[in-house]
Amino acid sequence: MMQLHYDFAAFYYRKLLELDLSNSYALRRFKEAERAQKSICKNEFTHAEKLFYGKSYLEAKAFYEKVVARGCDFSPIATERLVQIKKILKSNKKNTDK
């Protein structure tokens, strides 16, 4: 499956727009890439939340890490959840070691 890199596309279309603000093609594609990136972020964050509340912490951790790596709007919450997961997993490990 081909992975689409909307974050890179948005970055380079933004660079083109810095050179020529009247470039309607670059502006249209920049907006498309931004929308797609936000949609992906929202979907990954929503999925991570479902996993977190379902107590599938390791799986949730992977999705929260993606959200943070992408620099999504949800990154602050995802970072907070990663701290919580670390504490939960550490606590669970201590309980199983007893």
Count other C-beta atoms under 10 Å from residue 85's C-beta: 19
Tens digits of per-residue pLDDT, 26-78? 899 989 988 988 999 999 999 999 999 999 999 999 999 999 998 889 999 99
Nearest to 5 by CA among 76, 61, 60, 69: 69
Q: Which amino acid is at 63?
A: F
Decide: 40 and 67 in contact? Cβ < 8 Å.
no
Residue span of the structural domain in which 38 resides: 6-97
91 part of a folded domain? yes
93 part of a folded domain? yes
25 part of a folded domain? yes
Tens digits of per-residue pLDDT, 14-30? 898 999 889 899 899 98
71 part of a folded domain? yes
The full DSSP string for 66-89 is: HHHHHT-TTHHHHHHHHHHHHHHH
Write down the pTM of the prediction: 0.78
1 part of a folded domain? no
